[in-house]
Amino acid sequence: MKKLILIILLIILCISYINFTVLAKVRFGKWDKWDQQLPDMNNKYWSWTFPGEKSTMLTLDDKLLLITTYLYFGTSKNRASIIFYSPVNQKTNIKKDYIPGPKFALVCFPSEKKKSIVRAYEIRNIEEGLSQFIEEWEIPFNQYQDGVPIGVKFREIFKEWLKQQSPSELVESLKTINGENTFNMFLPKLRIDAKGGFKLVPPISDDFINIISVTPDSGLVNGVGTDFKVVVEYNLFSSTQGTLGIGFNKDEVNTWLFPVWDANYLVNKGSGTHEFNVTVKPRNWGSQGDFSAFAGLWKFPFVIGEYNNLDGDKKILTFQ
């Protein structure tokens, strides 16, 4: 009887071990070693995110800091977004080797239950396929989210590495700019386009605007003039000047900017924050839709015949 019990216990332990092994496997795009390393670069499921611009130089105060390269892995219908970070001392080969000696890679997988998994890897030799998994974390699959949230170990790893790559005269400026930690400008955001496509993009090389807060954002009274404070963060990359604007859909349920902005502000190329203070009469649309604040980043001056909106963000507000 004792022998029988012992055999049963051994079988249970074996089954538990097998189940654990199976669950530990991370499979995507016919690659099941994501929890260990990146797929070999010769794998047929790699593709360029931006075919015409395979690698981008990132600068601060006109001094080179990093090289970034963007790829997808998977099929056109189901793929992960990958960003590689390379030191600028590899720039001599940038035209020949489109992923010039990368140090780190971040992989963002398609969302499940409105969340995405991001995995970080340290790369020893990309040509030989030598990479090592560092860490993974979850992020909400929303319009514009930090790709490396506060509390993730990789933030500190990346920060120390970035300091080592920086010219000595820039080390101090990496600590703070506009009251915020500058190295956040080089960490990626999860960027979702109008068609639901997504990619990881460093804020420094992208146009964006994000509503940080709207005060008040609840307890509104229909038709009663309310003083709103709207705080936004932005980055203007593609133009020397741009316009920040905010609007509320107080006149039409699906129109935030009619007939003009409720407030606007001219900005120069770069990143920062801005606080809008406006008085608006909220409109409770009931079953027709939500009342909300919309923030937009626009080209300046407007170019007739072109799409001038660079980015936008919306926040729903609630009534009593």
N- to C-terminal Cα distance for the chain?
69
Does 130 reside within a domain?
yes
Backbone angles phi, psi at 288, to 5 degrees: -75, -30
Which helix (DSSP H) or strand (DSSP E) does residue 240 occupy? strand 226-248
Give the model's pLDDT for residue 111: 87
Backbone angles phi, psi at 254, to 5 degrees: -115, 25
In a domain, 216, yes or no: yes
Q: Which residues pair with 309 in a beta bridge?
A: 298
Token pair of 239 as six digits: 């133009």
Q: Are residues 191 and 231 in the same domain?
A: no
Handedness of CA 37, 146, 158, 155 (dihedral sign): negative
Give the integer Cα–Cα distance in Å for 112 and 133.
21
- For the chain, residues with pLDDT lower than 70 are 1-26, 60-62, 90-96, 143-144, 168-183, 193-195, 203, 258-260
State the Cα–Cα distance between residues 38 and 199, nearest whole angstrom: 17
State whether 50 and 195 are in the same domain: yes
Task: Give the three-class secondary structure for 99.
Answer: coil
Please indicate, yes or no, whether residues 194 and 215 belong to a single structural domain of this protein.
Answer: no
Q: Is residue 39 part of a domain?
A: no
pLDDT of residue 172: 62
Per-residue pLDDT, 311: 86
Q: Rounded to two decimals, what is the model's pTM? A: 0.64
Domain count within the chain: 2
Q: How many CB atoms lie within 10 A of CB 244?
A: 22
Domain that holds residue 60: 46-202
